[in-house]
Amino acid sequence: MKTFTQFESHELANTLIEKALGFKNNPLQSKDKGQGKRLGLIFLNPSLRTRVSTQLAATNLGVDSFVLNMDKESWALEMQDGALMNKNKVEHIKDAAAVLGGYFDMLAIRAFPTLTNKQEDTEDFIINQFIKYAGIPVISLESAIRHPLQSLADMVTIRENFKEKRKPKVVLTWAPHIKSIPHAVANSFSEWALGCGHELTITHPVGYELDEQFTKGATIEYDQKKALQDADFVYVKNWSAFNPYGKILKVDENWLLKENKLGTNAKAKIMHCLPVRRNLELSDEMLDGERSLVQVQAKNRIYAAQAVLDSML
Amino acid sequence: MKTFTQFESHELANTLIEKALGFKNNPLQSKDKGQGKRLGLIFLNPSLRTRVSTQLAATNLGVDSFVLNMDKESWALEMQDGALMNKNKVEHIKDAAAVLGGYFDMLAIRAFPTLTNKQEDTEDFIINQFIKYAGIPVISLESAIRHPLQSLADMVTIRENFKEKRKPKVVLTWAPHIKSIPHAVANSFSEWALGCGHELTITHPVGYELDEQFTKGATIEYDQKKALQDADFVYVKNWSAFNPYGKILKVDENWLLKENKLGTNAKAKIMHCLPVRRNLELSDEMLDGERSLVQVQAKNRIYAAQAVLDSML
Amino acid sequence: MKTFTQFESHELANTLIEKALGFKNNPLQSKDKGQGKRLGLIFLNPSLRTRVSTQLAATNLGVDSFVLNMDKESWALEMQDGALMNKNKVEHIKDAAAVLGGYFDMLAIRAFPTLTNKQEDTEDFIINQFIKYAGIPVISLESAIRHPLQSLADMVTIRENFKEKRKPKVVLTWAPHIKSIPHAVANSFSEWALGCGHELTITHPVGYELDEQFTKGATIEYDQKKALQDADFVYVKNWSAFNPYGKILKVDENWLLKENKLGTNAKAKIMHCLPVRRNLELSDEMLDGERSLVQVQAKNRIYAAQAVLDSML
């Protein structure tokens, strides 16, 4: 595996899910496999959970990891080919990525969208520039449009918590937020759930339609209550509008997910990638109750990352 | 030992002091004891000495350590149960602590007081919320009202430097400062010195009385010169007023500790937890002279942390 | 070797260059040599390449490394002896350096010049204060006036890429920039190139003369084109004026190095320490072409640091 930035195939997803479950059962089973290998973790945006879970995964495999925070303020990278660099950008992605490619055996990169340049974000420009110039295997720690390690952890969580023969019914429900949030988690969840053959319904207020390249095959249902009927898993997540790009249309607080919306559905499990805005996106009663899988998802981030790193070694 | 946040008993203190001295003599004597264990170091406030000494202690025991800076600005945690999170707080302590509790074997946390909410600080609210929700052993790297690793290092330093049969006479003397400083070091020093059976005198300008729960059993003496007579150890430290809470009453520069205040007392050793404001809290002549134990204290921070980690493993 | 802050002798330089080339060939040949040793990396100014390459070098030798960011804002150090510390400086270099000296086996320090106090910078005051008070071996990660690890990596790069018997002709050419840049890289490159017996020509606009203590023995040639004739290696670098100290006299964009300036010189290789301002200092065609050694230099930073650490162990 040279890059891990998106869903590739049901077969690969299956392999990674099984591998992750194996590591969860015995995290140190390959503790010397990565001896002498070095992973560079590049953050163009801040991270806590993603950074730590990936470092723990690396440590479980004997891989040394090194964190580089290249926030826009402190180490602004020029991304455009041919630029005359006489402004605030201190280094070109070409040079920075090549140096890092020479220093490490694998790179993992977080690069959020600007939410101001739809075309650049949609092309996943920044992470693709890194891949182009680094020349070594690259793992996405969330790009402009995808968050594949989160989605892999989510698929692991669904596999662990669904033992029936039939396809699970999965619902992705939009939730209110006060900030303009990227589409990456929602896009990837849809891409992976559909790719893994789950039955997916997406529900959101009119206007919050996601980019169709990620949702083709899902049922779109604007009535939240109706969408939630018979759900096995309910994934709660905010995202900003795709049209007009990156905008908050309205913080519709009625979309808060709370217990009474699930009616008589006793089996539905609740998922969220964290951090979650309590009582704005999801109610305390749900997060602290029996339905919640959010802590399981967070823990599975370690084993998802470990499965990916292991496949690259 | 499940938590290390305060003085517990003379017996435990003794065990930890002896263990620390053993590690000082042979730091790598248990270098594989912590193999495969992970320590998370959470900083809600910045740190250099505390972070590095704790990481060195972990390394001495073979424990992997991971630093998370969650400063108020970059990763603001909601601390109040039941809050509607529609403002600037990005994650609830409940969720963050539980995730970290799932990722690590032990957590160490620094959480300074706000100095604006006396009740919350006095209840040591933040660190207790972490303990409540993390579900794993927690070490205080300085909380709102205590700094137990510093005090343990201080007790180790006193043990090393006092070979007489009688109780040492220990003096805690207030020093001037230009900022509003927490009470944690002073509280803990008092708590540990008294708990370890030392004879403690506390001297400070009128108005700087500490919370009595930490000082019961100590002699309070407002005349600094009188307090210093016959001292074996003089601990120099600034703190803000407890009433009115967190205020600087007056920067009384006469309280600077300098050589001539010790008169004919040739034996007195000088202690300070660092960082120290030279010539405001303590004079150059004292810090650079024979009396100073400040570097010994700093070094003992490693072995104090190592004794605590070792007891938790 | 107790300190590594500047060029010492042709003999030592030779030893280090050969050692670095040996490590490049087999990075893990001494992977247990530094077991149990600890390196503190102190950054008074930000760093990416230097930090990572030094950490990788340490890891190659089994040395544990610990990074401390002591930026001026967050942990301001008082540098002046005898100061009354009643302003914004939180700790005196005396105390901080001594603590770090007690915690680590070796220190590596980055301390840029202020470019506002010529005398202090010229005396390399800050790093010398660290050396004075740390009491353990110290490596410069770029000081006010020198960047010796960069220069060692540059000498390694020249050695690797020049197989003739004669002395290589090396040209250091000033390049335009929009910021006021320190002299450290230029000074050190000149010091090492001359010390290693290379034939050195320095070319820059009138007014950008470097401190003569570093350039004695070099040819100064104000005509860039003439200077470049027959060059084997062309080192491109901006620096601010030495007189008036730290000023930008004029951003003379004609000094941009591009292919047509090399005329018929087919053999000349191009060097730069990175980060480089593309199309302001050096043209894309040169950086992306066959002449460029900039990625080789960056990679050699690891082995230069490893040679120095190895010599200190």
Instruction: Judge if A127 and A9 occupy the same domain.
Output: yes
Strands A233-237 and A269-271: parallel
C-alpha Rg value of chain B to the nearest Å: 19
Set of chain A residues whose Cβ sits within 8 Å of the Cβ of C52: 40, 66, 68, 100, 103
Collect all residues with Cβ–Cβ distance below 8 Å to B15 and sequence separation of at least 6.
Answer: B311
- Structural domain includes residue C179: yes
Instruction: Judge if B210 and B248 occupy the same domain.
Output: yes
B288 in contact with C, Cβ within 8 Å: yes
- Structural domain includes residue A125: yes
User: What is the interface size between A and C, counted as CB pairs within 8 Å?
Assistant: 69
**B46–C75: do the CB atoms touch at under 8 Å?**
yes
Q: Would you report the helix, strand and coil content of chain C in percent, each value rounded to 5? A: 40, 15, 45
pLDDT band at A105 (very low <50, low <70, confident <90, very high): very high
pLDDT in tens, C7-53: 999 999 999 999 999 999 999 999 999 999 999 999 998 888 899 99
Main-chain dihedrals φ then ψ at residue A275, nearest 5 degrees: -70, 145
The CA distance from B112 to B182, in Å, is 8
**Alpha carbon distances (Å) from B31 to B2, B28, B36, C19, C197:** 22, 5, 12, 31, 48
**A90–C275: do the CB atoms touch at under 8 Å?**
yes
pLDDT band at A245 (very low <50, low <70, confident <90, very high): very high
Cis amide bond preceding C244, omega within 30: yes
SS3 C296: helix
Nearest CA in chain B to C94: B288
pLDDT band at A250 (very low <50, low <70, confident <90, very high): confident
Q: Closest Cα to residue A84, out of C282, B81, B51?
A: C282
Instruction: Judge if A171 and A285 occupy the same domain.
Output: yes
- Structural domain includes residue C56: yes
- Structural domain includes residue C151: no
Other CB atoms within 10 A of residue A293 CB: 20
Instruction: Judge if B277 and B305 occupy the same domain.
Output: no
Task: State the smallest CA–CA distance between residue C5 and chain B in angstroms.
Answer: 25
CB-nearest partner of C103 from B46, B56, B287: B56
- Alpha helices by DSSP H, listed for B161-255, are 184-195, 212-215, 224-228
State chain A's mean pLDDT as an integer.
95
Q: Angle at the Cα of C143 (from C142 to C144), degrees rounded to 5?
A: 130
Domain range holding C56? 3-146+301-312
Instruction: Judge if A126 and A258 occupy the same domain.
Output: no
Q: Angle at the Cα of C299 (from C294 to C300), degrees rounded to 5?
A: 95
Instruction: Judge if A134 and A199 occupy the same domain.
Output: no
pLDDT band at B300 (very low <50, low <70, confident <90, very high): very high
**Alpha carbon distances (Å) from C148 to A91, C108, C156, C233, C301:** 22, 12, 12, 19, 11
DSSP string, B116-176: S-HHHHHTTHHHHHHHHHH-S-EEESS-SS--HHHHHHHHHHHHHT---SSPPEEEEEE--
- Structural domain includes residue C232: yes
Q: Which residue has the higher pLDDT, B183 or A76?
A: B183
pLDDT in tens, A176-216: 999 999 999 999 999 999 999 999 999 999 999 999 999 99
Main-chain dihedrals φ then ψ at residue A248, nearest 5 degrees: -95, 120
As a whole number, mean pLDDT of residues C175-183 equals: 96
What is the model's pLDDT at position C72?
55
What is the model's pLDDT at position C73?
55
- Structural domain includes residue B156: no
A197 in contact with C, Cβ within 8 Å: no
pLDDT in tens, B234-276: 999 999 999 999 999 986 889 999 999 998 899 999 999 999 9
Provide the ipTM.
Answer: 0.95
How many domains does chain C divide into? 2
A295 in contact with B, Cβ within 8 Å: yes
Instruction: Judge if A185 and A85 occupy the same domain.
Output: no
Adjacency order of strands within the sheet including B3-4: B3-4, B138-140, B106-110, B38-43, B64-69
Set of chain C residues whose Cβ sits within 8 Å of the Cβ of B298: 98-99, 102-103
A85 in contact with C, Cβ within 8 Å: yes
The CA distance from B293 to C92, in Å, is 16
Q: Closest Cα to residue B279, out of B178, B204, B208, B206?
A: B178
- Whether the Cβ atoms of residue C184 and residue C5 lie closer than 8 Å to each other: no
And the tokens for C242?
């030495």
Instruction: Judge if B64 and B193 occupy the same domain.
Output: no
The CA distance from A238 to B90, in Å, is 13
C65 in contact with A, Cβ within 8 Å: no
Nearest 10 degrees: CA dihedral of C83, C88, C91, C93? -60
Instruction: Judge if B11 and B125 occupy the same domain.
Output: yes
Nearest CA in chain B to A281: B85
Instruction: Judge if C18 and C132 occupy the same domain.
Output: yes
**B278–C74: do the CB atoms touch at under 8 Å?**
no
Collect all residues with Cβ–Cβ distance below 8 Å to A182 and sequence separation of at least 6.
Answer: A112, A113, A115, A144, A145, A239, A240
CATH number of the domain where residue B181 is located: 3.40.50.1370
pLDDT in tens, B49-95: 899 999 999 999 999 999 998 875 567 899 999 999 999 899 999 99
And the tokens for A198?
């789950």
**A48–B83: do the CB atoms touch at under 8 Å?**
no
Instruction: Judge if C42 and C135 occupy the same domain.
Output: yes
Q: Closest Cα to residue C17, out of C148, C110, C121?
A: C148
State chain C's mean pLDDT as an integer.
95
pLDDT in tens, A123-154: 999 999 999 999 999 999 999 999 999 999 99
Task: State the smallest CA–CA distance between residue C290 and chain A in angstroms.
Answer: 15
DSSP string, A135-154: -S-EEESS-SS--HHHHHHH
SS3 C78: strand
pLDDT band at C245 (very low <50, low <70, confident <90, very high): very high
User: What is the interface size between A and B, counted as CB pairs within 8 Å?
Assistant: 69
**B299–C103: do the CB atoms touch at under 8 Å?**
yes
Nearest CA in chain A to B80: A278
**B277–C83: do the CB atoms touch at under 8 Å?**
no
**Alpha carbon distances (Å) from A229 to A166, B86, C82, C115, C148:** 16, 28, 74, 68, 68
Q: Percent of chain A, pLDDT > 70?
A: 99
